[in-house]
Structure 1
Amino acid sequence: MSESGTEWSGAGDTEGIGSKTRFEDIYDRPDPRAYFRRLAPLEYEIPQQAQAAFRRAAAERDGGTVLDLCCSYGINAALLNHDVTLAELYARYTDPVVSGLTSAELAVRDKEFYASRRRPDAAPVIGLDVADNAVRYARAVGLLDDAFAENLELGVQPSPRLRAAMADVGLITLTGGGSYLTRRTFDALLGWAGRPLRVSAFVLRTVSYRPIADCLATHGLRTAHDPSRTYPQRLFTDPAEQRFAVKAVRRLGADPTGREEAGRFHTVLYESVPAD
């Protein structure tokens, strides 16, 4: 594992070389069906890749709740706390049988489904995302114990309710927001932490995690990562996105051979723990 300040394969600047495809049209629907239909052909898999690491981190946390950043429809919480796989969720939400249901009808089915798959070691999970409809759905079906639709990247402070929730957070998880979040969000959140906590983040190799790791260090957390081990995220949407990823990875000092050059985004796991 490389620690903050040494061997940062993700340290650098990627401005001016294009960008990854954005999926704003599927992130804030009343339910997750469009999300899974759109991402299924791209074989989006990072939540499943992260499942074991998040379960391990949750078991090692010093009590408290889990905060999933950019939680969307609560997929990380579903995989963390339930006996279910991402493949099963793809099958569930792309099944023609559910295509004619209203969002309310689907939510009733989902609440029963997740309750029946709940693990005995389930951890309390809260979620933060700018997508109000998505977090509302995740909470309605029981995946999140609480949910917050707030954008801390605007430089605002967390709401009083989110501040209170942060007092009991023992683990922060992240799989889908490393390309969009900055130290602003982490600094705003950790300023209200009330217990020792960990951060477990899967971040695309196209962006630098160094600014966030430096921010976490100011809050007493030491960050480590293994740049030699990567986790696939999804297929590229088109050749232009692949060219962007390959250039970005190279600019940040890493080698895209066998990874981005082979057709998929890849991530690195960064784990931050109290320095003492």
Structure 2
Amino acid sequence: MYVQPDPRAYFTRLAPLGYEIPHHAQPVFRQLAAERAAHDDGRAGVPVVLDLCCSYGINAALLNHDVTLAELYDRYTSDTARRMTSARPAEWDREFYAERRRPDALRVYGLDIAAPAVRYAREAGLLDAGFTDDLERVPPGPELRDALGEVGLITLTGGGSYITERTFAALLGQVRRPVWVSAFVLRTVSYEPVARALAAHGLHTTTDVSRTYPQRRFTDERERRHAIEAVRALGGDPSGREEEGRYHSVLYTSRPSPMR
């Protein structure tokens, strides 16, 4: 999906699965971004949001524009979208998002190894900057290193299965502002290694494991069984959640420790 030049295939593929975690993240990220900006200790400029595994800029679209995830599904699976040539969607979307831009919109940078998705998000005006550095394998390049000096909030939805503490350590090793992290992570994945990496950089992570957020339906019974086994292996209870046919995520919030 992420190798396509625009998000039409992405939404068409995920619509039958009811992928919804960006919807749950929308109010959380808006509130946390506002809180983070209010706590910026007199530094010049409002801190930038860095969205990890940003794909086509969906979180940026929901953060900075008066639009819902349901409206985006309708838009990108519509007859109009299906008939459009691949050269048109970014132009079509620039006007759409410009008309819905919130007055409190923040600068958002995106990081994803899927270059076509990042390119689209930039062309559509959703990202102020986009990067494709694979921090699981290499350190940040010079452009990303420079950009990290402006970042005050790091967000993540759905990418916890693909990136590890290596990515977070690489990012936090280059930041120059106090950074907060807000991550929605599947219950099939342990966040402990990431939390330890964040703690090494002075961040304290909190979560409420009793509250979960539905992510999407399973594609088949095999995926369901695998998820149930993974949740149990991590000490979780899949009853009422994964056993009912959907992935569920937990929200982790990390802020500088009080002594910092």
Give the TM-score normalised by structure 2. 0.95
SS of 1:152 mapped into structure 2: coil
Match of 1:18 in 2: none
Name whichever of 57-66 and 234-243 sits farther off: 57-66
Instruction: Report SS of the residue matched to 1:103.
Output: coil
Question: Which of 177, 182, 187 is the matching residue for 2:164?
Answer: 182
Q: Distance in 2 between matches of 1:160 and 1:103?
A: 31
Q: Deviations over 1:155-213 (max 9, x none)?
A: x1101000000011000000021011111100111100010010000000001000000
Q: Provide the aligned C-alpha RMSD in A.
A: 0.7
Q: Report 1:74-89 matches (<5 A).
A: 74-89=57-72
Shift of 1:31: 0.4
State the AA in 2 paired with 1:80: L
Query: Separation in 1 of the partners of 2:48 and 2:94?
Result: 21
* 1:203-240 superposed Cα distances (whole Å, 9 cap, x missing partner): 00001000000000000100000000000000000000
For residues 241-252 of structure 1, what are the structure 2 equivalents within 5 Å?
241-252=223-234
User: In structure 1, what is the equivalent of residue 123 of structure 2?
Assistant: 140
Secondary structure, in 3 states, of the residue corresponding to 2:136?
Answer: helix
- In 2, distance between residues paired with 1:103 and 1:200? 33
Work out whether 1:45 is the aligned partner of 2:20: yes
Instruction: Report sequence identity in percent.
Output: 67
Runs of 4+ in 1 over 2 A off after TM superposition: none
Measured after TM superposition, the shift of residue 104 of structure 1 is: 2.3
The answer for unaligned runs of 5 or more in structure 1 is 1-25
Which residue pairs with 2:134 in the alignment? 151
Give 1:24-173 correspondences, 5 Å limit.
26-61=1-36, 62=40, 63-154=46-137, 156-173=138-155
Write the letter of the residue equivalent to 2:206: A
DSSP 3-state at the match of 2:182: strand
SS of the residue corresponding to residue 215 of structure 1 reads: helix
Corresponding residue SS for 2:184: strand
Task: Map residues 191-210 of structure 1 onto 2, 5 A cutoff.
Answer: 191-210=173-192
The one-letter code of the counterpart of 1:160 is: P
3-state SS in 2 of match to 1:201: strand
**Higher relative contact order by CA 8 Å / sep ≥ 6: 1 or 2?**
1
| Aligned pair partner of 2:220 in 193, 213, 238 | 238
What is the TM-score with the length of structure 1 in the denominator? 0.90
Distance of 1:42 and 1:150 partners within structure 2: 29
Q: CA deviation at 1:103?
A: 2.4
Residue type at the aligned position of 1:109: W
